[in-house]
């Protein structure tokens, strides 16, 4: 794959090296030529000085043969403009933009541009380490909206189906851990003693989902 990266800060330079180590060709764009020093002398890819929403700059970086584009500069506007240009004008199939403003990130996600909302995601993760609330979260999407949490089950769920758990909780089961192995259940999967159940939730629904799983609102099942 040929990957273009706009922005040669700490994230951009780290991303460039990670992609090179995986065997991909990389071109890095930054309007400050001094930024390329972060890449070090062992970087074998291309560096192009300029802004990532300039068509000539993108062409010099190889956008017309690019398989992927990452906009990770420090400016939200620059990132989203360049990301849309790469996708809509040059037809790059895989595009992602770093966005600091969570509200903007949600808008651009709806436009089909995957985003990483840096500040919201980082702050959310730190809060969960600093103030544990008893919820075991194993995944949170980059926009910090959807997460996967472990839902400890009341013993009365044993012998019932995943379908009944999903219907009562209003949430989807992402996967199960059974005898130490991950498994994708089906609606007819019967819950067994010792199963660990992981469910897809939002911050608004997680409390109610965990209550149902623990039996707090199950009325004895």
Q: Which structural domains are found in the chain, ordered by start?
A: 2-122 (3.40.50.720), 133-214 (3.30.70.1450)
Query: Which positions ≥6 away from 129 have C-beta within 8 Å?
Result: none
**Which pLDDT value is given to residue 19?**
92
Query: Which positions ≥6 away from 26 have C-beta within 8 Å?
Result: 2, 3, 4, 5, 16, 19, 20, 43, 45, 46
Q: What are the beta bridge partners of residue 202?
A: 146
Q: Could you state, in chain order, the average pLDDT of each consecutive group of 10 residues for the chain (221 residues)? A: 94 92 94 95 95 94 95 90 92 88 69 68 62 69 83 92 95 90 92 92 92 72 54
pTM: 0.61
Q: At 93, phi and psi to the nearest 5?
A: -75, -35
26/13 Cα distance (integer angstroms): 11
């Amino acid at each position: 794959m040929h990957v273009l990266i706009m922005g040669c800060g700490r994230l951009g330079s780290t991303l460039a090296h990670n992609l090179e180590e995986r065997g991909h060709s990389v071109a890095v764009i930054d309007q400050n030529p001094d930024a390329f020093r972060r890449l070090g002398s062992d970087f074998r890819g291309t560096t192009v000085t300029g802004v990532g929403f300039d068509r000539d700059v993108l062409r010099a970086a190889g956008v017309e043969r690019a398989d992927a584009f990452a906009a990770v500069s420090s400016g939200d506007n620059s990132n989203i403009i360049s990301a849309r240009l790469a996708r809509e004008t040059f037809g790059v199939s895989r595009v992602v933009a770093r966005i600091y403003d969570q509200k903007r990130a949600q808008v651009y996600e709806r436009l089909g541009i995957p985003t990483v909302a840096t500040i919201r995601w980082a702050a959310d993760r730190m809060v969960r380490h600093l103030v544990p609330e008893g919820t075991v979260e194993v995944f949170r999407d980059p926009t910090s909206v959807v997460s996967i949490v472990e839902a400890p089950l009341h013993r009365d769920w044993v012998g019932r189906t995943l379908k009944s758990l999903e219907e009562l909780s209003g949430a989807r089961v992402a996967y199960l851990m059974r005898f130490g192995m991950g498994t994708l259940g089906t609606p007819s999967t019967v819950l067994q003693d010792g199963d660990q159940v992981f469910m897809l939730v939002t911050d608004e629904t997680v409390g109610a989902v965990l209550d149902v799983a623990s039996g707090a609102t199950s009325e004895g099942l």
